[in-house]
Amino acid sequence: MMKTTLDINDSLLAAAKAFAAQQRTTLTQLIEEGLKLRLRSSHATTNVSKRKIPVFKGHGGLVAGLNPSSNKAMLEAASRLTGLVKQDVSKIEPATAN
């Protein structure tokens, strides 16, 4: 175990000492636990950023005449598609309960 000197804000140190006493633990154990949690969450964040982003490798592409650099054109196309899907869904008859 290594002895270390830290400069900690007075009010933070007082709150940490009070919390440690309330939890029936030592200030050292409280600080170690906090460091472990912080390092663990930092490690988890690093692992998330290393994940590969899934990429669709299919064929077909965009509908002819659709400008992919135009947000307005893309939103209008999505709106038309949503309307078509709603029309098709409205034609489905509800299942009867047995």
Could you tell me the pTM of the whole model?
Answer: 0.44
Name the DSSP class of 94: P
Position 22 confidence tier, pLDDT thresholds 50, 70, 90: very high
**Residue 11, number of CB atoms within 10 A of its CB:** 8
Four-CA torsion 84, 89, 92, 95, nearest 10 degrees = 170
Average the pLDDT over 22-49 and give the result: 84
pLDDT tens-digit series, residues 79-94: 888 887 777 777 777 7
Please report the pLDDT score of residue 29 as a whole number: 95
Whether the CB-CB separation of 66 and 74 falls below 8 Å is answered with yes
